[in-house]
Chains A and B, each alone.
Chain A
Amino acid sequence: MIVDQNKINEAVSTVVGYGGEHILNCVQCGACSAVCPGVKAGFPLLCRHLIRSLLNGNLEEIIEDSSSWGCQACNRCTEVCPQGVRPQEVVFAFRRYQANQLAFSTSSVTSQMNLFETGHAVYTDPREARKKVGLPEETPTSAFDEQAKKEIQTLINNSPMGALGLF
């Protein structure tokens, strides 16, 4: 394997920029992978192995891998890491790199649209179910609150998410 320092620098600075600040603390002990439900379920590029790939200078090469989206965000890895890497932040930083390059599954677009339009990532019309259990048909949440929806849309429109052209 040819190791290219420029590629390593690019991968590290990209991950650090997206929030994986402590990636260079990693000593590849694998404690994170030992407790990771995603690794256990069979996703190939999470925790130790993802960090290893990035520290070898692979970034674009692995952009299509969906493992990071299988991360449960459970933070078992953060709890056990003896080096303070906070591996979940590295996984999410890589996921943010993918997302900002629009390298994510189309199924994920629905949640972004739901969040933008209703303030809820998961949205189904709740009125009938709520009436049946004796609650007011409309939730006290953003779903039925025009001002709240406008606030959410302002925050998203003025963010890097708004610049992706999804909404």
Chain B
Amino acid sequence: MEKIGLYLGCNIPLKNPDIEQSFRKIFPVLGIEPVDLLGASCCPAWGTAPSFDLNTWCAISSRNITIAEEQGVDIMTGCNSCFGVLSEAKHFLEDSGRRKAVNASLATINRTFHGTSDIYHVAHVLHRKIGTQKITENLKYSLEGLKIAVQTGCHALWPTDVYKVNEENPFFPTMLRELCEATGATVPHYSRLAGCCGMGGMRSTDQEKSLGLFKEKIVSIKEETDADLIVTTCSSCFLQFDMSQPILKQRGLIDFEPIPTFYFTQLLALAMGFDPNQVASISQIDRSAVIATIQSEDRLIKEVA
């Protein structure tokens, strides 16, 4: 089985370990063995070292990458920010002067960056290495008839010149749509598909501006798709959709019930029959009704004799 280094980041293992558990459940079934990157730290997040000093950013990122290099594996991240930060740091380290300076820092902790491990996003591994057909073949429940609005998130899309895997058109992403369609669900287009959800630095700097951007996105989803659920492959987008819909509802700024939101591998784990208490149990918005719908008897896919 192909091994890949599971880079966890911060939000997934610390705040939403049910997402981490969904990775650990689905990947081995689909032929990929995630291995732990012991002692890995924050990527580091945009608001930390990248906001102070370029070489310190590169040193902390490349320390994480060396943990994968030592095991001879590539890296798979579930968090878009981690994907962006690690990919960009690796890109900066193509500059030989910078690489020399950063390796001098790493030498103080007995490490050397070689650049031998590639950085992938969970969505890339699912779409490019595993493929939609294998996903469909491993379903226990068909999601036919369910309507999903997808949210790819920013840092898996731009800038295309630093990423290992890219969308054909990053302003019109299709990978997550195709992954969701592999479960049998319908994934309608909406006009703000490539729009930012407002999480990240914007939310911590000015929550009202962040909510303004988010409102435009969520209203576009509701009015144009009337989706049953929202599915994302970004853990930051997940947090924004899950915590900010109830805020807008409470303030009377939206007039519909918050739409249940899942990280894609949570949805897939549910469709593959895994226990919702393990793979989809932490959220502000009550997801129990849609989980029951997903794992209902009449969706069971009959085994072909």
Contact = CB atoms under 8 A, between A and B. Distances in A.
B138 interface: no
Contact of B14 (A92, A132, A139): A139
Contact of A158 (B13, B108, B159, B170): B108
Contacts of A69: 47, 51, 201, 204-205
B14 A124 contact: yes
Interface string A135-160: 10001111101011001101110111
Interface residues of B, number: 66
Nearest to B59: A155
Most A Cβ at <10 Å: residue of B38, B198, B205: B205
A119 interface: yes
Interface stretch (B126-134, B252-260, B277-285): B277-285
Given A73-B155, A74-B154, A140-B8, A156 B45 contact: no
A139 B281 contact: no
B213 A41 contact: yes
Given A41-B202, A96-B51, A139-B8, A134 B278 contact: yes
Interface stretch (A7-15, A23-31, A49-57, A99-107): A99-107
B296 interface: no
Nearest to B199: A72
7 smallest CB-CB distances across A and B, nearest first, come from A119-B41, A148-B39, A74-B154, A37-B196, A159-B56, A121-B45, A41-B209
13 contacts: A37-B195, A37-B198, A37-B202, A75-B158, A96-B52, A115-B42, A124-B14, A133-B18, A133-B277, A140-B38, A147-B39, A158-B108, A159-B55
